[in-house]
Amino acid sequence: MKKRPTIGIYGFTGCAGCQLALLDCEDELLDIFSALDIKVFYEAMSNNDDNALVDIALVEGSINTNKQTQELKEIREKAKVLVAFGSCSNHGCVQAMALGDGEWEQRFKQVYGDMKFTVAIPREAQPIHKFVKVDAYIPGCPPAKPQMLRALTQLMHGNQPTYTNSPVCLECMFRENECLLYNGKLCLGPLTIGGCTAPCPSHNIPCIGCWGIIDEANHISELKLLKEKGFKAEDIIRRFRIFGGSDIVEKIQKLLEVI
Ligand code: SF4
Ligand code: SF4
Ligand code: SF4
């Protein structure tokens, strides 16, 4: 019988919703559990083997302490393929909202004062690629079931995961929604990677880019369109900041400067 690929599913700082989304694949769970030899999955198992070498490491969450940094590096050493699983690990998410603004220490002191930390020293939230080499990304907050299952299947066959490379707008159009931009609402759908099936605009709520920025978009043209519609650069950047982390914000800032 062919040896099953080994997998570890690890969680750092986040809401643990990506792991929960995997557990939520109820109809497919038996297939997943029989196709993979799961060594670590704290959200689902009690007999975890932290020392196991794994073929695939799915890493959820951002890195917020020195202890997590060390643990992430250890996972990297044990894993053949390390995958950033969801928005927190991909680009930082809400906890990295102000990443890179230079005021983290001041904000931290306002909340915690001079408290001494012994078990782990907190640090500004960062996506995992700031500390280790990442081999593949699964986008989403949380990732959607079809994409997650496709990615897992590709990974267990030794392939690179593929994902939707069209913006949220396409899925929004498929749902025959009236575009919120025409109603004066700042929606980030044109610049956000699709796959979520556009739940927010379908409920009249503008997309805030929680899946991250799409690679293959005409970013300049879309940003020009937003500016033509009267949205200010600082409002566009503020909205991208909600889930963006500094990499995405820097990219948008640079593009807005040349428009
Ligand atoms: S990416 Fe979203 S769902 Fe996943 S852990 Fe972070 S906040 Fe939760
Ligand atoms: S509402 Fe948002 S996601 Fe939908 S088409 Fe308009 S800009 Fe795109
Ligand atoms: S904020 Fe945008 S990317 Fe996130 S779920 Fe809503 S529509 Fe999708």
pLDDT for 101-152, tens place per residue?
Answer: 889 999 999 999 999 998 999 999 999 999 999 999 999 999 999 999 999 9
Claim to verify: residue 107 and residue 191 sit in the same structural domain? no
Query: Whose atoms come closest to the Cα of 18: which ligand?
Result: 1
56 forms beta bridges with 7, 81
Claim to verify: residue 176 and residue 144 sit in the same structural domain? no
Residue 241 belongs to domain spanning = 168-258
Claim to verify: residue 53 and residue 94 sit in the same structural domain? yes
Claim to verify: residue 215 and residue 243 sit in the same structural domain? yes
Say yes or no: CB of residue 209 within 6 Å of ligand 2: no
What is the distance between the alpha carbons of residues 29 and 222, in angstroms, rounded to a whole number?
40
Q: Which of 156, 186, 209 is the last residue of a domain?
A: 156
Q: Which helix (H) or strand (E) holds 15?
A: none
Chain Cα centroid distance, residue 123: 19
CATH for 112: 3.40.50.700
Half-sphere exposure (CA, 13 Å, Cβ side) for 120? 14
Claim to verify: residue 48 and residue 135 sit in the same structural domain? yes
Claim to verify: residue 18 and residue 94 sit in the same structural domain? yes
Q: Which of 156, 188, 209 is the last residue of a domain?
A: 156
186 CA → ligand 3 middle, Å = 13
pLDDT tens by residue, 35-81: 999 999 999 999 999 999 999 999 999 999 999 999 999 999 999 99
Query: Whose atoms come closest to the Cα of 208: which ligand?
Result: 3
- 116 within a domain of the structure (yes/no): yes
What is the distance between the alpha carbons of residues 175 and 168, in angstroms, rounded to a whole number?
11
Output the pTM of the full model.
Answer: 0.93
**Of 45, 44, 43, 52, which is closest to residue 7 (Cα–Cα)?**
52
> Count of residues for the chain?
259
**Of 126, 255, 146, 242, which is closest to residue 188 (Cα–Cα)?**
242
Query: Whose atoms come closest to the Cα of 214: which ligand?
Result: 3
- At residue 1, does pLDDT exceed 70? no
Name the residue of 62, 64, 87 whose CB sits within 8 Å of the most ligand 1 atoms, as the mutation to test its pocket. Answer: 87
> What letter represents residue 108's amino acid?
F
- 161 within a domain of the structure (yes/no): no
Ramachandran category for residue 246: left, alpha or beta (phi over 0 → left; psi -120 to 50 → alpha)? alpha
- 132 within a domain of the structure (yes/no): yes
Claim to verify: residue 135 and residue 94 sit in the same structural domain? yes
Say yes or no: CB of residue 84 within 6 Å of ligand 2: no
pLDDT tens by residue, 148-168: 999 999 999 999 998 888 999
Claim to verify: residue 177 and residue 119 sit in the same structural domain? no
Name the residue of 179, 186, 188, 200 whose CB sits within 8 Å of the most ligand 3 atoms, as the mutation to test its pocket. Answer: 200
Say yes or no: CB of residue 169 within 6 Å of ligand 3: no
Q: Which of 122, 156, 190 is the last residue of a domain?
A: 156
Name the residue of 192, 193, 203 whose CB sits within 8 Å of the most ligand 3 atoms, as the mutation to test its pocket. Answer: 192
Report the side by side order of strands in the sheet with 54-60: 37-41, 6-11, 54-60, 79-85, 136-138
